[in-house]
């Protein structure tokens, strides 16, 4: 079975408006096998199915991935302008065999066959894809960031701790995704690429241990500071002692010099040793003045 393949956002959109995939040839011994081959080839181009309830329509997205049982709601096959209507497996294989020289058209509905018109697509995107709070550039508004940060902290604030900027980066990463995926990503821990930015919140024993470590660190800093101060004072005292000793040596030298000068200029009258020496010298007889 040779087929042209188109990926369309809505059921009623023209084939040419969608993304065209390379032509492909599907093979299988029976319709069940051929159907599975077609489905597996189309599955990478299908999102989670969009569904709605009520009027006006309230859109939502299936939480489970599509399976082979969803084939009819995701894939449409036609030959020329006529849709392939399956009556039974035998009829399907006979029809395909009869047109094996022709090229079928396989349409893949990106969101499923509930999104029929452009209006459906717009309403669905407004409710489930795009953030409702947007700035002028179309990005998520500040209020949306704050709300997402609040949700993340409410879910993970007792498990992880980090700077406010890192919580905001995580929130911004989620807000770039379709709205219907937000709940799933909020329920998951930080992505692997950001996990190094978050640290586990310590338990009671760890908090007490950290508090004790901080106290001991402060005490150690104080002791080290005091030791540094005493070392500086000790060096100053050593300098003072050396200066005192140098001054003492200089003064002692000057004292000896002064004493030497003092001995040279001291009068005899104040030198008892010289007076006693003079007194011990005997007087000589004055023979020159004796009268004849």
Question: Does a structural domain hold residue 272?
Answer: no
23 and 45 part of one domain: yes
Say which residue the tokens 């700077």 belong to: 163
Domain membership flag for residue 35: yes
The answer to whether position 286 is within a domain reads no
Q: Which residue has the tokens 């199915």?
A: 49
- Whether residue 290 is predicted with pLDDT greater than 60 in this model: the reply is yes
CB 170 within 8 A of CB 152: yes
Q: What is the pLDDT of residues 158-186, one digit of tens each?
A: 899 999 999 999 999 999 888 888 988 99
- 73 and 147 co-located in one domain: no
pLDDT-derived band at 283 (thresholds 50, 70, 90) equals confident
The rounded distance, in Å, linking the Cα atoms of 104 and 116 is 21
Average pLDDT, the chain: 86
Q: Is 46 inside any structural domain?
A: yes
pLDDT tens figures, 84-117 = 887 788 888 888 888 889 999 999 999 999 999 9
How many Cβ atoms are within 10 Å of 81's Cβ, its own excluded? Answer: 6
Domain assignment present for residue 288? The answer is no
- Read off the tokens for 114: 């509930």
Same domain flag for 104 and 153: no
Q: Are residues 154 and 114 in the same domain?
A: no
Is residue 277, in this structure, part of any structural domain at all? no
Does 111 share its domain with 142? Answer: no
Confirm if 37 and 26 have CB atoms less than 8 A apart: yes
Q: Domain ends where: 158, 177, 200? A: 200
What confidence tens digit (pLDDT) does each residue in 136-155 have? Answer: 665 677 888 899 999 999 99
Cα separation, 223 vs 212, whole angstroms: 16
Distance, in Å, from the CA atom of 58 to the CA atom of 10, rounded to the nearest integer, reads 17
Q: What is the pLDDT of residues 182-203, one digit of tens each?
A: 988 999 999 999 999 998 887 7
Task: Dig out the tokens for 71 from the structure.
Answer: 């084939």
Same domain, 63 and 7: yes
Structure tokens at 29: 């011994």
Q: Which domain holds residue 235?
A: 214-263
How many domains in the chain? Answer: 3
Q: How big is the chain, counted in residues?
A: 292
| SS3 call for 283 | coil
Q: Count other Cβ atoms within 10 Å, centred on residue 127.
A: 18
CA angle 150, 153, 158 (to 5 degrees): 155
């Amino acid at each position: 079975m040779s087929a042209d393949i188109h990926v369309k956002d809505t059921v009623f959109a023209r084939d040419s408006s969608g993304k065209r995939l390379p032509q492909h040839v599907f093979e299988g011994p029976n319709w069940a096998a051929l159907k599975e081959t077609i489905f597996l080839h189309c599955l990478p181009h299908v999102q989670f199915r969009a569904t709605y309830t009520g009027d006006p329509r309230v859109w939502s997205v299936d939480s489970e991935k599509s399976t082979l049982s969803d084939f009819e709601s995701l894939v449409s096959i036609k030959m020329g302008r006529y849709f392939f209507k399956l009556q039974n497996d035998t009829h399907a294989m006979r029809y395909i065999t009869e047109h094996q020289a022709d090229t079928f058209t396989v349409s893949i509905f990106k969101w499923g066959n509930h999104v029929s018109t452009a209006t459906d697509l717009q309403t669905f995107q407004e409710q489930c894809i795009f953030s409702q709070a947007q700035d002028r550039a179309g990005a998520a508004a500040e209020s949306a960031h704050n709300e997402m940060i609040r949700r993340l902290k409410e879910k993970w604030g007792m498990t992880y701790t980090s700077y406010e900027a890192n919580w905001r980066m995580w929130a911004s990463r989620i807000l770039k995704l379709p709205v219907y995926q937000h709940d799933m990503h909020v329920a998951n821990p930080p992505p692997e690429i950001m996990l190094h930015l978050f640290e586990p919140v310590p338990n009671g024993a760890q908090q007490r241990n950290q508090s004790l470590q901080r106290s001991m660190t402060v005490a150690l800093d104080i002791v080290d500071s005091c030791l540094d101060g005493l070392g500086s004072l000790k060096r100053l005292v050593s300098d003072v002692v050396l200066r005192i000793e140098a001054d003492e040596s200089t003064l002692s030298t000057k004292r000896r010099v002064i004493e030497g000068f003092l001995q040279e200029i001291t009068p005899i009258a104040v030198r008892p040793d010289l007076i006693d020496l003079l007194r011990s010298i005997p007087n000589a007889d004055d023979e020159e003045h004796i009268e004849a």
